[in-house]
Amino acid sequence: MRTELVSEPGDRDRPNEDFASVALPASGLGGTLVVLDGVTPPKGATGCLHSVPWFTARLGGALTELTVSCRDLTLSEILSRAILRTAEPHRSSCDLSHPRTPQATVVVARWSAETVEYLVLSDSALLLESPDGTVTPHLDDRLALLPRSALATDALADATIRNKEGGFFTAAADPTVATRAVTGVVPRAEVRALAALTDGATRWVEKFQEGDWTDCFTYVHKEGAQALVDRVRTLERADAEQRAHLGRSKTHDDATVVYVEL
């Protein structure tokens, strides 16, 4: 087995709000990966005394521990428990019903000798490569399919589509959101390698159209995770000068890539 993990802040002066872990509990038990992208709130109230990194560290830590120790639970059940565990220490001090309570996108994968389980919530991506080289993206495309007009302002999005029926969902303080995640199980024999990427890295495909998901996977496999992030940064700098690609809110975003060869 070989793993590679790269996570870079979009801005050196701000904390990285992504979280990434790979756990290999013991020989024969397989392993897990967890990737979160903490959602940066707009300026103003969040109802919470805590920071986004405070939240992602706890949610990511809980997901890592539970995927390793509770192999009898499904990944949805684990996400639900991890959200509850994370909400508990600030339930009395903070307004966890606030639409901008700390929240994150989630990718979890867990492999054993027999299966590879996965869970994807919101706009991070999980790519699975089969032994014949076919790359299958597992995506929660709710956000991408919403009309841009619904995202015209943060206030409009918070009031109408953020964690609302018909909108898109993130892991915040409500454990029932786990039932909204894209999940599945595939035979381990059908997976040779996996890659999980936050949207700061999937820009390579989705914003800059350097290639499709298969090309992206091949790039990480051949050039490495760092090379993919470096390439995105180069494209972002050129774009900031040219303003050729409109509609992007930040020049750089936190970017995380976890690559695992089984």
Residues of this chain that interact with Zn ion (CB under 5 A) are 48-50, 90, 94
Closer to Zn ion by CB, 42 or 89: give it: 89
What is the tally of helices (H) and strands (E) in the chain? 7, 10
Nearest approach, Cβ of 94 to Zn ion (angstroms)? 3
Q: What angle do CA 219, 221, 224 make, to 5 degrees?
A: 75
What phi, psi does 200 have (nearest 5°)?
Answer: -65, -25
Nearest approach, Cβ of 102 to Zn ion (angstroms)? 7
CA 69 to chain CA mean position, Å:
21
Nearest approach, Cβ of 67 to Zn ion (angstroms)? 24
Closer to Zn ion by CB, 79 or 94: give it: 94
Closer to Zn ion by CB, 50 or 248: give it: 50
Closer to Zn ion by CB, 98 or 207: give it: 98
User: What element of type H or E holds 31?
Assistant: strand 31-38
Asked whether the beta carbons of 139 and 184 are under 8 A apart, the reply is no
Nearest approach, Cβ of 88 to Zn ion (angstroms)? 11
Closer to Zn ion by CB, 7 or 101: give it: 101
Nearest approach, Cβ of 66 to Zn ion (angstroms)? 21
Structure tokens at 250: 């930040």
**Cα–Cα distance between 149 and 104 in angstroms, integer?**
22
